């Protein structure tokens, strides 16, 4: 048991290191969210009343943290598709590491790499933009948003096991940008027309960010938010499992 757990821990660590060296992760998971956060909150905001600007800096911080977490999460799938293509997944299947543990290890590694994305944007908010929250709010933000990223990790993994590396890359980036825009991570959904806004509030990225927005407002997440996210978790989890089974049959 200790041996198997040790192998799992080593596998997670191996994959985390590989992800941190990935330019795709550095760009979509870390660089872009921080850059966009600073651009959106520091340029062209001069005419705003100070109270509105402070609120926007908090809202955008959480939106961009969610965007970065989303990028890191779906990026896990891009890595899987690439590893499938390069034969690494097949090679792993010839080692004593059990296939189920490889999948689980990958999901854990994906979740771990979500953390730096979250933390970087939150740090930019606190340090550069002077965002101030209560002491309990910071860890609550990190914890909730970390958990909330799981459906996206599973969605990316589902694509990775099912599709080619190229298709997965395009689809994951497309999904990332699409979900970020419709979910109001870049611009507030308040700016959307009413019909689009009601759609937006059922999209996973919007509910994901809502976990953070409610925390920053000092309240617990709404029940509807949790229900919608659990629904997406179930859908994406099933998708990942089905994709993995299919790839195991044809690999």
Partner 1 sequence: MRLTPRTAPADTAPAGASPAARTAQAPAVSFERVGKSFGTVRALDGVDLTVRRGETVALLGRNGAGKSTAVGLLLGLDTPDEGAVRLFGAAPGTAVTAGRVGAMLQDGRAVRRVTVGELVSFVAAAYPDPLPVAEAIELAGLTGLEGRRVDKLSGGQVQRVSFALAIAGGPELIVLDEPTSALDVEARRAFWASMRTYAARGNTVLFSTHHLEEADAFADRIVVLHRGRIVADGSGRELKEAAGGRLVSVELAGPAPRDLERLPGVVDFELDSGRARLRTTDADATVVALAGLGMVRGIEVTGATLEDAFLALTRDPGAATGATTATATATRNTSTSTSTSTSTSTSTETHRARGVSAPGHASADTATGTDSAADTSADDSAGTGAGTATGRAGRVEEIA
Does 165 engage in binding with partner 1 (CB under 8 A)?
no
Does 10 engage in binding with partner 1 (CB under 8 A)?
yes
- Min dist CB 95 to partner 1, Å, is 5
Does 214 engage in binding with partner 1 (CB under 8 A)?
no
Number of residues that bind partner 1 (CB under 8 A): 25
In terms of Cα–Cα distance, which of 210, 222, 212, 22 is closest to 125?
A: 212
Does 217 engage in binding with partner 1 (CB under 8 A)?
no
Does 98 engage in binding with partner 1 (CB under 8 A)?
yes
One of 1, 2, 3, 193 touching partner 1 (CB under 8 A): 3
Cβ neighbours of 207 (radius 10 Å): 25
Hey, CA dihedral for 152, 153, 154, 155, is it positive or negative? positive
Q: Give the list of residues 6+ apart from residue 160 with CB closer than 8 angstroms, or none.
A: 76, 77, 78, 79, 80, 81, 84, 168, 243
Does 6 engage in binding with partner 1 (CB under 8 A)?
yes
The alpha carbon of 235 is separated from its chain's Cα centroid by a whole number of angstroms, namely: 16
Q: How far apart are CA 4 and CA 6, in angstroms?
A: 5
Q: Which stretch binds partner 1 (CB under 8 A): 84-92, 105-113, 155-163, 217-225?
A: 84-92
Does 246 engage in binding with partner 1 (CB under 8 A)?
no
Does 96 engage in binding with partner 1 (CB under 8 A)?
yes
Q: Is 58 helix (H, G, I), strand (E, B) or coil?
A: helix
Residues lying near partner 1 in the complex (CB under 8 A) are found at 3, 6-7, 10-11, 14, 17-19, 21-22, 82-83, 86-88, 90-91, 93-98, 251
């Amino acid at each position: 048991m200790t041996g198997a757990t040790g192998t799992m821990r080593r596998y997670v660590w191996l994959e985390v290191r590989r992800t941190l060296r990935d330019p795709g992760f550095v760009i979509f998971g870390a660089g872009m969210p921080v850059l966009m956060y600073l651009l959106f909150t520091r340029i062209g905001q001069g005419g705003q009343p100070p109270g509105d600007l402070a609120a926007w800096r908090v809202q955008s911080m959480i939106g961009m943290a969610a965007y970065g977490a989303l990028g890191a999460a779906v990026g896990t799938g891009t890595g899987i598709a690439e590893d499938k293509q390069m034969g690494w997944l097949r090679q792993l299947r010839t080692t004593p590491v059990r296939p189920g543990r490889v999948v689980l290890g990958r999901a854990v590694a994906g979740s771990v790499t979500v953390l730096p994305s979250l933390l970087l944007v939150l740090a930019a908010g606190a340090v550069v933009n002077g965002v101030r929250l209560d002491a309990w709010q910071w860890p609550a933000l990190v914890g909730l948003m970390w958990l909330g990223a799981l459906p996206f990790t599973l969605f990316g993994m589902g694509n990775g096991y099912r599709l080619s590396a190229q298709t997965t890359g395009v689809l994951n980036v497309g999904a990332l940008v699409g979900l970020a825009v419709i979910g109001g991570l870049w611009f507030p959904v308040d700016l959307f027309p009413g019909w689009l806004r009601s759609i937006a509030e059922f999209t996973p990225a919007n509910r994901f960010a809502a976990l953070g927005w409610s925390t920053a407002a000092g309240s617990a997440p709404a029940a509807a938010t949790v229900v919608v996210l659990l629904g997406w978790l179930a859908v994406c989890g099933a998708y990942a499992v089905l994709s993995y089974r299919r790839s195991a049959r044809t690999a």
